[in-house]
Amino acid sequence: MFCLQMENSGASPLKDIPVGLDAFSEEEYYSQSTLLKEFTEIPTIEKAWTLKSNTGGSQVMFSISQPNLLENKKRRYVSYSHIAKERDDSVQFHWAAFPIEMWTASLMVPSPSGSKLLIVRNAESDSPTRFEIWSSSQVEKEFHVPSSIHGSVYSDGWFEGISWNSDETLIAYVAEEPVSAKPAFTCVGDKKGNCPDKDCNNWKGQGDWEEGWGEAYAGKRLPKLFVININSGEVRAVDGIEKSVSVGQVIWSPSAKDSLQYLVFVGWRSGTRKFGIKYCTNRPCSLYAVRAPSFRSEPEQSGTDANLSAVLLTESISSTFFPRFSPDGKFLVFLASRSAVDSGAHNATDSLHRIDWSIDAEPRPHNKIVDVVPVVMCAEDGSFPGLYCSNILSNPWISNGRTMVLSSAWGSTLVILTVDVLSGDVSRISPSTSEFSWDVLTLDGDNIIAVCSSPVDVPEIKYGCLVTNASDYTRWNWLDISSPITKCSEKVRSLLSSKEFCIMPVPVRDFSENLTKGACKPYEAIFASSKSKKHDACDPLIVVLHGGPHCVSLSSFSKSSAFLCSLGFSLLLVSYRGSLGFGEEALQSLPGRVGTQDVNDVLAAVDHVIDMGLADPSKIAAVGISHGGFLTTHLIGQAPDKFAAAAARNPVCNLGLMVGTTDIPDWCYFEAFGSEAKSTFTAAPSAEHLALFYDKSPISHVSKVKAPTLMLLGAQDLRVPITDGLQYARALKENGAEVKVMMFPDDIHELDRPRTDFESFLNIGVWFEKYCS
């Protein structure tokens, strides 16, 4: 590992060159590190909120992150802009002179009126969690909540939930349950009584082990529901929720004045064991309603109202998440990944549903669930392929009260959709001719603030104005907004301006028996390259493979991919069959066929660009993470003469080894056995199962590998533990193949800590430059 040091913003971050490099690689390290730093510094817009401005009109607040290599953390800050609508229908954003850094803020959530801002600061270890309530000019209140009440507030994007009530006096949120008591011992045995630790010669035991939610949740206690009164600072745990239920995504239900207040939340029940939940929407979950704690001095009402048990709202469906109430409070809308739960796929096509709600009555079970947008099995060419949403805005509604705005994958692009939740009509409102990806950030009344980008274009802010005579709420005019947020250096801008991209359909080459209609349709690949060709020569090609496998390579901006393209490589990002965005039949065609169908799809895409004269068959490399690493290591074993180099990031190399150590052993069974997995799964695989896992794995082809291979591994990975990659690397070395291993001791599966990400892609760039140029 090398040392990072930045003397100033223009200096190369590379101070010491790794030992053992030849002169070529040493020069590449220096030049590439300088360029990579410029890409690394490009900010990322994470969220946005629209607030009412004191001077009229609207103000938008952007939450932005930027890697800080010196601290090895993300630097977070906010930037404000006033939105001015001119008489000629143009829109101007007037930006604040400087952004404001939110260095220790874990979460920030404006109140519904925009007059208050909650900032949560989670502390290290078990120190108190800080809650700050800000007005437009100062901190109004600050409260410290000790770990005896709860631990850190969840900010993970999945269990995470923070919700203000309508009068902005109470905030519901999800936090780690308090620290459980540990056994204490003295030199003579068990400690009894309540003697303080500092007064006794004692030590703490570990107590019983409790299983967590796997990857990214190591060391975190289970998520529980709390409410804080922002006038008094009093915090109360929400009663009536079974201990076996992990809670998340809480929202307040609308209620009549002076009536009881209820909270709606997503609950995940613990079965005989917990499987990893990160990137896994196939974990069964339901919507519940529970009475919010009362902070009034009078006693609780008696009779039936005294029953505080949470009410199960969605008994008849196996998956519910991201609940949102309509503006009038008459119905509750939510997403579901029922296809994932029912089939076993870690991710699948979503559906949208609603139930009726009464603000005057208590929540009731056995609600009729209305299908608003069903799962699309096989879309006709160019038609809506189904919902694939990673989130929904906290307020996704336009003024008619029945139309939601959301982002969803549509093939290899991210698009903005409107959904009429009463009729079920779905409309694509981002430009249908654009191959860029569009993502909604927030709404400004009936207008939309979005971000738009491509593999070779940094993100830009767009403002969508509803066409005034569009009574069906399906047409917006999109305006370019000048923004200082995502500016990049002139060098980066110049390099990217010389690049172009396209999305190409790839015909299915090898039809197998019993394929559905959706599985026979073309899949897609994104091809990024230089605009100008060097005589008849092609740039070296990097095949970029997404993980999952049920994810997708989108046509949005990626700093790491853009960096590799700027080095002079063409990129081919393949969304093989099994990816999101192409209908459920195509997705479900892959389980049981991993290592063959997905490998053949990637090889067909590579041959497709070779046949088009876009790639030199002697200069091809592959890179991927997780299942993308599974494909990378499969490709160099099954097609050893096709690839000049490879880089695998936390790759799945041996399913038989992974199944006993991963947080998602059911994934191994589902992808290897397909529809038989649910009846076949066991925590103690048989010899026959292990033999099938071996046959499906890259390790079975390791003896044929010729390509120099770079392995990048996170030592804290619970999803694909490092033993998987290490075994493969040792087998390569044993067979005489060239292999280099980089181990990041504090990283988990994503390998996304700032220094790790930087060092990983610097080494990938140098590796590919050495063996492919």
Active site residues: 626, 717, 749
> Which 3 state secondary structure label does DSSP give 736?
coil
Q: Which helix (H) or strand (E) holds 587?
A: helix 584-588
Give the integer Cα–Cα distance in Å for 653 and 744: 18
**Beta pairing partners, 537:** 534
CB 587 within 8 A of CB 530: no
The alpha-helical segments, DSSP class H, found in 148-248 are none
CA atoms 633, 634, 640, 641: torsion sign: negative
The CA-CA-CA angle for residues 620, 623, 627, to 5°, reads 130
Sign of CA dihedral 290, 424, 47, 445: negative
- Between the two ends of the chain, the Cα-to-Cα distance in Å is 25
Distance CA(539)–CA(768), nearest Å, equals 12
Q: What is the rounded CA–CA span in Å between residue 192 and residue 508?
A: 70
**Helix (H), strand (E) at residue 410:** strand 403-410
CA-atom Rg of the chain in angstroms: 27
Residue 710, both tokens: 């770079």
Structure tokens at 70: 């010196």
Report which DSSP code applies to 197.
Answer: G
Nearest residue to 636 via CA among 608, 661, 606, 612: 606
Cβ atoms of 589 and 345 closer than 8 Å:
no
* Residue 738, beta-bridge partner list: none
Q: Identify the residue whose tokens are 């063996």.
A: 771
Cβ neighbours of residue 679 closer than 8 Å, sequence gap 6 or more: none
Distance CA 503, CA 513 (A): 28
Torsion angle of C-alpha atoms 264, 270, 275, 277, degrees rounded to 10:
10
The token pair at 434 is 């654009």
3-state helix, strand, coil in the chain (%, to 5): 20, 30, 50
The DSSP secondary-structure symbol of 391 reads -
Q: Please, are residues 313 and 353 in contact by the beta-carbon 8 Å criterion? A: no
* Bridge partners of residue 505, in order along the sequence: 524
Q: How many CB atoms lie within 10 A of CB 190?
A: 10
CB 222 within 8 A of CB 243: no
Residues 422, 328 contacting (CB under 8 angstroms):
no
Backbone phi, psi, residue 563, to 5°: -60, -50
For helices 627-638 and 597-611, angle between their N-to-C axes, nearest 10 degrees: 70
**One-letter amino acid of 102:** M
Q: How many C-beta atoms lie closer than 10 Å to residue 88's C-beta?
A: 5
| Cross-sheet strand order for the sheet of 447-454 | 437-444, 447-454, 457-466, 476-481
